[in-house]
Structure 1
């Protein structure tokens, strides 16, 4: 997902086009990595992402060419017949309230409760390049063949990465059990992803993430509204894995 966005959703009606530096790629095939897990090798996160078609949003990631300026949408369009696509963002359907996934908040200094701020370690996949040759193939770190998924290469955000977190931490996606009893719907594995041991070591599995509020902000920019989501707040002790603190689903 993304780095430099507010920590809370944007509640006013958006303009017809997203404000710079964002751009909407209309009716394109794209890789959705927001809920992906990633295999770390040689300092790069290789993430198992879904392939979708429709509207998505991204940082513009523009650059100059011999014929003028291009951005992420141009790059993605070129990939259609050249064996690649770009990772951009839309809201994963399964995190909408009642679905089988949730947004897990790995806490920062402003919401750490009686614990500490979560260590920052996630794949930052906005603009990541993905190669269609990986579909229907095996790939290190993932069990069995990929089916409709695609592998995208993404940089790893850590505590040393500027804007990788904010006062309310960062967010990842994980499983949710909407039919379970109240208090048992958040899954321990979702919060455990906030504290992966040795996250940059070869062979580690880390989540894709973004600063808290990024997903809602971008969804507002893309669609004009944000539905109620399954949401879980984690707490991280000074030593040991992060655990579920509270189900904050509205």
Structure 2
């Protein structure tokens, strides 16, 4: 229990350095930017009858331009979880759940989190047909070399990208969407990303036979995002996905896992 609380705190601290700015200089409405350092975790939608569309970026890879990562994410319709990202607009207190609702008629959505079925040990690719199985890779930065990933919780995603080609990401299907996410430099002891799983879901990963060493080297070793076209994976601090999944799903999370020494 102590470990779970510590990991959950780590997840909050990781995204607490993020800021969301929602401003339109051509509009008479005013929106203030809120530091999320005191943010809480929320589950959306608040009402069971409300729309539940969001973007799931946990397994996404991204392409960078001018210091911004553009990530090909999945469009989902189910309950999700996120840092609340509290802000005020026209005197009203709002958070990420309000953004999700307002995005439905206005051509955008927000990246929040739900458990990706592809990384779970009981995923059935033949029945569920969500693509090949995946696993969570632990990128170890304890040696002192920090690396970049894309932090997508709270990222804005625009429906205008669907059904079109996008630079560096190729064709965006109707059930996909491009989200803009800030690249983040990892802190020790490291971070986790989703990547290929070469075995059946739930198989014992003896000697990392189920994991891709080249993918690990490439995605865990991005030390600069200055070059246009740098490819990143969406990341989170070690253990964050497990804690958020357990909170959202109400049961312990069981993931395919890769860890190289």
TM-score for both structures, normalised by structure 1: 0.77
Corresponding residue of 1:72: 96
Corresponding residue of 1:150: 177
Is 1:190 equivalent to 2:190 in the alignment?
no
- Which has the higher mean CA deviation after the structures are superposed, 176-185 or 199-208? 176-185
Q: CA 1:188/1:9 → structure 2, altered by over 3 Å: closer, same or farther?
A: farther
Is 1:128 equivalent to 2:155 in the alignment?
yes
Corresponding residue of 1:31: 55
Superposed displacement of residue 101, structure 1: 0.2
Unaligned 5+ residue runs, structure 1?
Answer: 11-18, 110-115, 159-163, 235-244, 246-250
Corresponding residue of 2:164: 137
Q: How many residues get paired? A: 211
Q: Contact 2:135–2:256 (CA<8 Å) still a contact in 1?
A: yes
TM-score for both structures, normalised by structure 2: 0.74
Q: 1:35 aligns to what SS in structure 2? A: coil
Q: CA 1:174/1:189 → structure 2, altered by over 3 Å: closer, same or farther?
A: farther
Corresponding residue of 1:81: 105
**1:104 aligns with one of 129, 137, 146:** 137
Q: Distance in 1 between matches of 2:8 and 2:43?
A: 20
Unaligned 5+ residue runs, structure 2?
Answer: 11-37, 46-50, 124-132
Q: 1:227 aligns to what SS in structure 2? A: coil
The CA deviation string for residues 225-244 of structure 1, in whole angstroms up to 9 with x for no partner, is 2232100113xxxxxxxxxx
Q: Contact 1:138–1:146 (CA<8 Å) still a contact in 2?
A: no
Matches within 5 A, 1:47-62: 47-62=71-86
Q: Distance in 1 between matches of 2:257 and 2:137?
A: 6
Q: CA 1:218/1:227 → structure 2, altered by over 3 Å: closer, same or farther?
A: closer
Q: 1:138 aligns to what SS in structure 2? A: strand
The CA deviation string for residues 134-180 of structure 1, in whole angstroms up to 9 with x for no partner, is 0110000023443421000001101xxxxx4343x100000001248
Q: Distance in 1 between matches of 2:8 and 2:42?
A: 20
Q: Contact 2:72–2:172 (CA<8 Å) still a contact in 1?
A: no
Superposed displacement of residue 42, structure 1: 0.6
More helix per residue: 1 or 2? 2
Compute the RMSD of aligned alpha carbons. 2.4
Report which structure shows greater RCO (CA 8 Å, sep ≥6). Answer: 1
Q: CA 1:145/1:132 → structure 2, altered by over 3 Å: closer, same or farther?
A: closer
Corresponding residue of 1:175: 196
Corresponding residue of 1:213: 239
